[in-house]
């Protein structure tokens, strides 16, 4: 039962699509008829234009000059006309100006090129190739002739930039060493902090071990002195006074010994701290220097040499044009 309903539903859907397609076909027929009518009108208009042209051509034919005159005019028209010297010179000036502008624009763009990611040396060979290509295209142009001075200038600027980029490449090769030295210095600084903390803790523990018994003794003697000073027994007054004096003497001796031990450990602690601070200061200075060096290597400093080469090429080209103009 369900299958029959589906079939009926599908048939109704197909009939609806059929009606839609028939409507579209009718629309297309109407459009085709409209275009056909428009073409008929265009053809009729073209026929009228052709008739008008035939009339005009017939009138012009009546006004044509004699055959001999037409032949002379045709020969004169076919005869090649040589450009004037002023025109040739003007054309050459324009060609030279266009060549110079093209060369200087390319050189300037190359000189201002920024290498975003290190190592920058991997871009040097391509850059030099492009610079030589710009020079070669300029020299090989037929609109200008280079002289010996330009050749010398060109050789000089290429040698300078090649040497500068070679030095930059050598500097960049040290980047790995600098990064490793920086990591080693950081590790050594951590180790230095840990060693100082361990030695300081050990020294304090040793100090406590040595001063502990002395502190106990001093506190005991101080307690004895207090007890003896509070004793009011008249019978043993002399004996108490003698014992008090001896106890005070022993207390002073114990305090002196405690002070000496504490002074010794304080001196050792100061020496340990001074040594630690000195080493830490040296490592901090080394780290700062390595950070600056690494930052410098990670910056494209070759742009200075490349801009100098671009400016030198511009000067050489302008000087050549000036010399050529003066000799012309």
Q: Identify whether residues 234 and 323 lie together within a single domain.
A: no
Q: Identify whether residues 152 and 255 lie together within a single domain.
A: no
Q: What are phi and psi of 174, to 5 degrees?
A: -90, 0
Q: In this structure, what token pair is assigned to residue 29?
A: 């027929």
* Predicted pLDDT at 66: 57
Q: Identify whether residues 41 and 134 lie together within a single domain.
A: no
- Which band of pLDDT confidence, cut at 50, 70 and 90, is reported for residue 76? low
Q: Identify whether residues 284 and 265 lie together within a single domain.
A: yes
Q: Is residue 76 part of a domain?
A: no
Q: Identify whether residues 191 and 286 lie together within a single domain.
A: yes
Q: Identify whether residues 192 and 275 lie together within a single domain.
A: yes
Structure confidence by residue, pLDDT tens digits, 31-65: 767 776 766 676 767 777 777 666 666 654 545 55
> Residue 317: which domain range?
91-173+312-327
Q: Is residue 71 part of a domain?
A: no
Contact 169, 121 (CB under 8 A): yes
Q: Is residue 58 part of a domain?
A: yes
pLDDT beyond 50 at 306: yes
Q: Identify whether residues 107 and 163 lie together within a single domain.
A: yes
Structure confidence by residue, pLDDT tens digits, 221-264: 888 888 877 776 555 566 777 788 888 888 888 888 888 888 88
Q: Identify whether residues 201 and 263 lie together within a single domain.
A: yes
Q: Identify whether residues 291 and 180 lie together within a single domain.
A: yes
Rounded Cα gap, residues 298 and 291, in angstroms: 10
Helical pair 175-230 and 237-297, crossing angle rounded to 10 deg? 170
Q: Identify whether residues 287 and 318 lie together within a single domain.
A: no
Structure confidence by residue, pLDDT tens digits, 113-172: 888 777 778 888 899 999 999 999 999 888 888 899 999 999 999 999 999 888 888 877
Q: Is residue 77 part of a domain?
A: no
- Closest by CA to 113, choosing from 133, 92, 128, 94, is 128
Helical pair 303-327 and 85-111, crossing angle rounded to 10 deg? 170
Q: Is residue 16 part of a domain?
A: yes
- Domain total in the chain: 3
């Amino acid at each position: 039962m369900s299958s029959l309903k589906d079939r009926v539903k599908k048939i109704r859907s197909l009939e609806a699509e059929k009606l839609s397609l028939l409507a579209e076909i009718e629309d297309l027929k109407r459009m085709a008829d409209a275009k056909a009518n428009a073409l008929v009108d265009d053809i009729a208009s073209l026929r009228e234009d052709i008739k008008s042209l035939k009339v005009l051509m017939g009138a012009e034919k009546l006004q044509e000059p004699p055959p001999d005159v037409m032949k002379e005019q045709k020969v004169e028209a076919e005869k090649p006309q040589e450009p004037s010297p002023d025109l040739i010179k003007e054309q050459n000036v324009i060609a030279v100006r266009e060549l110079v502008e093209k060369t200087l624009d390319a050189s300037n763009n190359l000189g201002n090129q920024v290498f975003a990611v290190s190592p920058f040396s991997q871009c040097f060979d391509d850059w030099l190739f492009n610079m030589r290509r710009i020079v070669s295209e300029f020299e090989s142009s037929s609109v200008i002739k280079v002289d010996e001075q330009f050749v010398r200038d060109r050789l000089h600027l290429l040698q300078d930039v090649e040497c500068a980029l070679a030095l930059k490449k050598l500097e960049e090769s040290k980047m790995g060493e600098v990064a490793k030295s920086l990591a080693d210095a950081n590790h050594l600084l951590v180790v230095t902090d840990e060693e100082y903390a361990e030695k300081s803790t050990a020294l304090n523990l040793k100090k406590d071990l040595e001063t502990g018994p002395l502190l106990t003794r001093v506190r005991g003697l101080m307690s004895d002195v207090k007890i003896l000073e509070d004793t009011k027994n008249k019978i043993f007054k002399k004996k108490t006074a003698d014992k008090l004096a001896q106890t005070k003497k022993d207390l002073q001796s114990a305090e002196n010994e405690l002070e000496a031990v504490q002074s010794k450990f304080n001196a050792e602690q100061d020496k340990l701290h001074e040594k630690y601070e000195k080493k830490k200061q040296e490592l901090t200075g080394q780290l700062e220097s390595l950070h600056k060096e690494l930052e410098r290597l990670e910056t494209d400093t070759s742009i200075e040499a490349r801009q100098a080469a671009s400016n030198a090429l511009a000067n050489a080209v302008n000087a050549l044009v000036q010399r050529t103009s003066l000799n012309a």
